[in-house]
Every structure is written in structure tokens, then in C-alpha cells.
Chain A
């Protein structure tokens, strides 16, 4: 023991002090201790000591916040996060699965949700920017690229592409002609091939879209997703019903307003799914008014249980076009439009040579026929002809076409072919 004491410097009696001096010595010592510990006095129940300054032994009693502090027991496992379910209410958020990311989600108790990273929007031409076949239709068939409409030949139904709003350049409009009293509906869906469908087997996905109704809309609007397990490519838009129930999604009637609004639905594909389609469907009642229609755009189907911001499947407009051309390519249409090079095989047969970006399968040739629709320029002259047909040996990347009904030329002549009528068109189709 040092004297004075080593930490506080309190002076104590020494061995040589006179006994008579001890009372005074202890008074000095006691007062020094009293002075040093003065700040420890006071306080109220629950208060804790807090430093009042950097000076030694300078304390003050303050109200404790221990009762509101986050306790160790709030976390249970590696990766847990401390979140909140409301003002002053901390809550544990368990870590998600490997590779998942944290996103805001106001529908959960903590306002947060782990979900798989957005893979992509799998819907082709999801805002109808690609329209190689035209922009207005009334009969069954593929309409805007990758979208197949079913009107069943009922009069007074038109599917058209109209000007969009906001972030969307186009909307699809399905309209019943004013005064029409038939209530037959229209389906308008997109089938997905096996290569596009299989990655979604067993996955929870969210499909979302933007829609609105016309002021006179008399009917109902629903969204179906049909799926199948066949190993044969199938257009499920035309084959899924009416034999089976709409699975895995049947929204029932969706309440639309006249304001373009986003709707989203989450469901899980069966584990064995190999193909599916998404199918908006419109039905009507009564007599059609002037605006007995619905409009929609911005379809998105993605892995996860929340719709993320809309994106094109193809990212860019060129990417979207290329994706659609896997299924359909318009080679040429209209008056004085170049088609391809060709050569005369025999005096009466012209062969036309096409190469093209790879398609899903060796495509069908879809070519209009009419008097003088085609012109073959060769050897200082020309042959006008009316139709062309696919020849053999077609592959997903190339095809030979021919005409052997109007050609009168010389074998070996080479030249080029153009379309020469406003209604003339040549396209390749590898659709489902």
C-alpha cells in the first residue's frame, strides 16, 4: 500500500505519526474519500451512472434505457437481421435462402422480403411492340407477334393495337362493336414452348399486367394460365380448353377501372410442367356501347412472389424483335419490295433462295397469292408470277422456294425477285 493511495491519492496516517494526531489524520482521509465519491450519491430507482465529463470520478445519475434496448435474444441464427414491425417495435427477420436478395414488400409484417433475384420476364412481346402480321385482327390466329387470338369467327370482335400511355407505347384493345348483342367472348393468349416452360416447373411465379376498361365495358375480364406436361410441343392457347380446368391460375373476374392499373397474381407451377400459356379472356353481356372494350399491356411472368418493375423480355427493341423472329419472320411485303435472289432451274421453274436467322424449327412459308404479285428480273427481262411455294430441304436457317406455274425462262438464268403488289407478302412461320 502506497501512501497517499496509488489511484485516488488519499492521504493516510503514517507509522511515525503521533497517536494524538490520528483523529485529525482520519478526518483528512475520510473527507478525501467523501469528496471522491460524492457523485455516487443521489439518483433514483432504475437510474444508472453516466460520466459527466472526462474528469476522474465525475459522474451523474441518468435514466436507464435498458428496458428499450435490443436484447441479444432477438436473434436466433446466423444471418438474422433486426428489422421493425412498427414504430419502436424491433423484430427478427430470418435470413433467406442462398442467392436470394432482400426487397421491400409492404405486405409483410417487417416490410421486407427475401426473394430470388429476378430472372427475367419470360413473356414475348409483352407490350405489343412487335407486330409483323399487322395491327388489327378479327379472325382466329396469331396476331401481334407471339400472341394468338381466338374470336371463333363471331362478328363484331376486333383485336387491335392502339396508342399507349405512360411507360407503354402500345396497348392491345379487345372491343365489341357498338350495337352487337352476341355475348361470345374473345381469348388472346401466348403459348410457350417446352424450352421456355420447363425452367418454371415447380416454381412460384408472379404474373403481372396493366389493364383498364372502356367507359361502356359490359362484361368481365379474367386471366388464365394453363399448363401441360406433354413432351410434344403444343399451342396451349388453342388446346388447353375446354377439356380442362384453368390451372394453375384462374383469376376469376378482375375488377377493372378506366385507369390503367397494374394487377398481379402469384401461383406455383406443377413440378412436371413442360408447357404453359397465359391467356387473358374477355366476355360481354347485353348490347355493346361505343366503348365496350378492355385494353391491356405490360405482361410479365417472373420467378418470385412479388412483381418487380416491368422489363421487356428482349431488353432492347432489337432483342425483342429477334426473340419473336425465332417464331415468325416477315421477309417482305408491299409494292416493289426486294425478296431474294433466284435462278432458273428449268425453263418453267424458278428457285428462290432464302437464308435467315435461326428459327424454332424449319418454318412454313406463308405467302400471299395473286395475279402479278411477284416479279423475277433476269437476263434483260422479267417473269411475272403469282405464287410461291416452299421447296424441300428447308432448315431452321434456310429455305428454297419455287414457282413452276407462270415462269417461262431459260435454265441457268439468274436474277432477283421483288414483290409488286400492296397485298403481296412473304413470311416464315415456326409458331407453335
Chain B
């Protein structure tokens, strides 16, 4: 009954367009204040405990870093450098799309910053090389999903904090192989498409001097993933420290190179980071209230008992979760799904004997697929807007990539080593 009332308020509010964080918060706080009559201070206390967290600082820092790298012109330099290397291949412009996304993934932790920083440029490069606009936009949408899978990843930080007792570093390490699988699959698909459609052009061989000069210009950016990912995996930095050091390093590089990073760029990057991370922060705060109610009323345990009574194996349980998340991903953004469902399902997965890291990665990657599935997919919307392509043909063109992403998730379910081997190797 309790869950029904909270659920009813929540769904009624979000259906009429109330931001999900506030709809969730309204449902939870109304229940606490007017139905249970619990001491009101509990609301602020839950908010405070959810937000007063050092690992959470990594979110604004990684978002700031992504925008600063763009404003310091490091990303356009990367694309020019990749053109010099891959431009001599016939499908080079499509391959650049995949490789640039994988390299940028080692710096930025969100798909949104990937598409906002590189999207327009990558689509322009592909259409200039003769690829259809819709296909170029679809590949760009799909490759942006690699951003939050290859470490660092804001989505993984949010998941780990929403669930608790999951190592962010281990999740980062576990995300590397699925991210590379995504990229490898997109690369092969681009190769087939280039051959079948006779698309692509080749660029002239660059002069060795200009190539070396460009390599020097892009070197500070190529060092950045080594600092961030290397720092975390070697135990030199925590995730938050790596994000802060990476941001300070980008500011330093941006100030020393020409054209210089200006105060305005720093100001803009901080504000952008505040806006985007505040959205995640409000969801975490409101999610903490609802999560507390569910635990207080033993809803989590009742749900666990019901699911365990199904007597299915851990793989089938994960496949059911994947199916539910794929459907929800069509309707909702990844972060609210993670905050609403992960704290409920992660303890059940633990009772099935599934590793926290494996379940977490299956959960996060499946939610991220939802960013490119219609009718509600933020990356689809952004790509449709920057490429000026209608949503329907874009959704159809992105479908083969969604199929590949789903296959990778199924592989992650059946082969735990894909997600657990690297964390073990790097000592998590």
C-alpha cells in the first residue's frame, strides 16, 4: 500500500513534466511528513548524507575538465591529428569518429560532453567524406556512449554512490573491456558500411614536419588519460583527486598554449559543471529520501524475497533486469533509473551471488544504451539538433549500433571475466 501511494505520487508528477528529482522528492517527503508522521528533520538529514561525499566531487570536476579541454582547443587539435593518421584510409573519417570518442572517453566521463564537444565536428568530417548525414549522426550518437563506459565515468560514480559499498575504482577498471568491445564493434560496422556504400575519401599524406608539429600540439591531451586513469589504477590518486589534478592540468596547459584559455572559459566551464552536476545531485538527494523509506518499510527485502522465490539462475535474473532497463531506458534518462532502481536491485543481485562490480557494470551500461533509444534519448535529441536530422530516421539508423551494444551487455552477463578480470589485475 505504502509503495503504491509513493509510486502513484511519483508517476503522476513525472507524467505532467515535473523534473524527476522533484517528483521523487515530493513523493518521499509527503509520505514521511503526512503519512508516517516521522520527525521532519529526517528529510534534510538524508539530503545532507547523500551530498556530503568526497567521491561525489569527481562529478563536477570531470564535467569541468571536458569543457575546458574543448575550450582550450585540445579536442579540435586531436581531430586534426587523427586525420593525419587515419585520413589515408578510405573509411578514415568514420574511424576517426570511433577513435576520437575512445580517446576522449579517457578524459571525460559523460556522453553528453562527448556529443557537445566533438559531435558537430565529427559529423561534418563524415559528411564531407560522402557518408549520408543520417548515418554520420547515428555513428556519432553511438560512439558518444563509449565516453561513460571507458574510465572515468560519471554514471559509474553515481551508481556506486547510490548503491553504496561498491568500489568506484573497480567499476572504472571493469568498464574498460566493455568500452573497447563497443569501439571495436563500431569500427567493424563502419568498415562494412564504407565498403558497401562506397563511401569515404582519402586525405593526402601529411608532411612529416607538420605531423610532428601536430603531435606536439596534441601531446598534452594524450598525457591527460595517463594522468587520470593511470593515477587511479596505480593508487596514486583517488577518483576525485585524479579529476581535480586533471582539471588543474588542463587549466595550466590551456593558459600556456595559444590561443590562451581565458577567464571567461574558466567561468563558463564552472557554471556548466554546476548546472549538470546539480541535476545529478538533486536526483541523489531525493533518491536518498525514497531509498530510506523503502529500507525503513522493508520493501527492499520483500522485493528480494519475491524475486528469489522465482528460483531462476543469476544469469536469468540479470537478463530480466537488462530487459526491464532497456524498456525503461526508452522512456527515462539513465541517472534517474539508476537512482530509483539500483539501490533496490543491487542487494538482490548480491543474494544471487553476483559480484557487485559485474552487476553494477551490466546495470550502468544497459542504462546508457537508453540514451540512444527512442522515444526519449537525450543523446538522440542532441544529435538530431546539432546535425539537423529528423528523430525518426536517426532512430532507425542508430538501431544496428543498439543491437551491438545489447550483444555486448549479454556477453557481460554470461562472461563475468569481461568485467572482473581487469579490476583483479589492477588490484581492486
Partners in one complex: no
